[in-house]
Amino acid sequence: MHEGLDLSNLEQTTPEEVNANLIRVWSWRGPLYEMYANSLMLDYAPDFAKLHRWGSDLFGRPSLANIITLSMQNIHSYMMFGWETGILNEFHTLRRNGMPLQQIMELVMFSQLYAGMRGLGHVYRAVGDLLPVFAEPTTTPVFPDGWAADPQAFKAGLDFSTREMTPQDLASLTSWYERAIGYVPKSIQFGLKHNPQFVKVNRAKWEVALKTLPKQVAPYLMLRHHTITGHRDGLREAALLGKTWGLTPHWIVQGITSTAMYFTGMEGLYAAFEAVDDLLEP
């Protein structure tokens, strides 16, 4: 039994199970989307609903670390897709599980690097009026073992007293990438060749976005983004940075397969196979 559903019996779903599940979902007193989404499955495809709950157990409730990691990824995706109900729900989920507003806003700013001003607009429409009155949680979030804040890890040593990409900046940035993932990505090579000032300022935003959250959050969000886009080079860069910063193979796979569960289906794993399968070998 989980959240009112007998997952050992897919052939039969009783009215009592349906009611128990919906009552459980409503107990959060959050946005109603999970309640009405579950209602659609339970009313018209109850076996599918039970299998969905079974799959959800792998990535979210009841594990506290799973709840936090999935919700962090979801804020990024919902900013990209512009789903404001989902953004509100993830703010509630993270706060309910101990994450202070400062850390949630760090997630938002990191995601702005991908979602731009449009993404910030969606966040404001979802929660902007609530932010000034949010109380701080009375608990602390549960992160995976070994995840810890390390804001210095993001720093490449660039000289921000000038907008120009100096020769020393170029050497420092190249060295950072070679230490972190073993090579300079083609995206950075292109930017340095054609618009080095953009590379410098965008890198500066990347370096200051996550201050109190664990550094592992950055590659974990990158795994989500590039699994959705199917970008092999981006996936490999995320996995390599994750390995350097302590993401275990379990969490690399978790970040990719949770995305397949909720956003891409099995087809999302094609790019993952090409990009990171060899990095997961013992």
Each residue's pLDDT tens digit, 63-122 = 999 999 999 999 999 999 999 999 999 999 999 999 999 999 999 999 999 999 999 999
**Under DSSP, is residue 157 helix (H, G, I), strand (E, B) or coil?**
coil
Q: What is the pLDDT of residue 133?
A: 94
Buried b (16+ CB within 10 A) or exposed e, 123-158: beebbeeeeeeeeeeeeebbbbeebebeeebbebeb
Q: Give the model confidence (pLDDT) of 13-44 as tens digits.
A: 999 999 999 999 888 888 888 888 999 999 99
Domain end among 87, 105, 133 = 133
Asked if residue 121 is part of any domain, the answer here is yes
Q: What is the pLDDT of residues 192-224, one digit of tens each?
A: 999 999 999 999 999 999 999 999 999 999 999
Tally of domains within the chain: 2
> In this structure, are 184 and 94 located in the same domain?
no
pLDDT digits (tens, 9 = 90+) for 230-252: 999 999 999 999 999 999 999 99
Residues 6+ apart with CB under 8 A from 123: 79, 87, 108
Same domain for 164 and 275?
yes
The answer to whether residues 187 and 80 belong to one domain is: no
Using CB atoms within 10 A of its CB, is residue 51 exposed (0-12), middle (13-18) or buried (19+)?
Answer: middle
Do 160 and 276 lie in one domain? The reply is yes
Q: Are residues 156 and 272 in the same domain?
A: yes
Residue 173 lies in a domain: yes
Say if 241 falls within a structural domain.
yes
CA distance 180 to 250: 20
Query: 2 pairs with which residues across the strands?
Result: 5
Nearest to 250 by CA among 137, 144, 127, 141: 144
Domain presence at residue 146: no
pLDDT of amino acid 82:
98
Question: Has residue 132 got a pLDDT over 80?
Answer: yes
For residues 279 and 243, the answer to whether their CB atoms sit within 8 Å is: yes
User: CB under 8 Å to 26, separation ≥6 — which residues?
Assistant: 35
Q: Domain ends where: 78, 102, 133?
A: 133
Question: Do 211 and 157 belong to one domain?
Answer: yes
- Asked whether residue 203 falls in the same domain as residue 125, the answer is no
List the one residue out of 89, 99, 214, 212 whose CA is nearest residue 147.
214
Kindly report the backbone phi and psi dihedral angles of residue 5, in degrees, each rounded to the nearest multiple of 5, phi listed first. Answer: -105, 135
pLDDT at residue 21 in the model: 93
d(CA 3, CA 20): 7
Helix (H) or strand (E) holding 187: helix 186-194
Give phi and psi for 2, each to the nearest 5.
-145, 125
Whether the pLDDT of residue 282 is over 80: the answer is no
Same domain, 68 and 108: yes
Half-sphere exposure of 9 (CA within 13 A, CB side): 8
Q: Where are the beta strands (DSSP E) in 18-149?
A: none
Residues 43 and 126 in one domain: yes
Indicate whether 111 and 212 sit together in one domain.
no
C-alpha span between 44 and 179 (Å, rounded)? 53
Residue 161 has pLDDT above 90, yes or no: yes
234 within a domain of the structure (yes/no)? yes
Residue 6 lies in a domain: no
CATH code: domain of residue 193 = 1.20.1290.10
Residue 2 lies in a domain: no
Closest CA to 107 of 68, 140, 146, 137: 68
Q: Which of 48, 118, 282 is nearest to 108 (CA)?
A: 118
Residue-range definition of the domain harbouring residue 40: 31-133
Q: Are residues 209 and 101 in the same domain?
A: no
Whether 263 is covered by a domain: the verdict is yes
164 and 232 both lie in a single domain:
yes
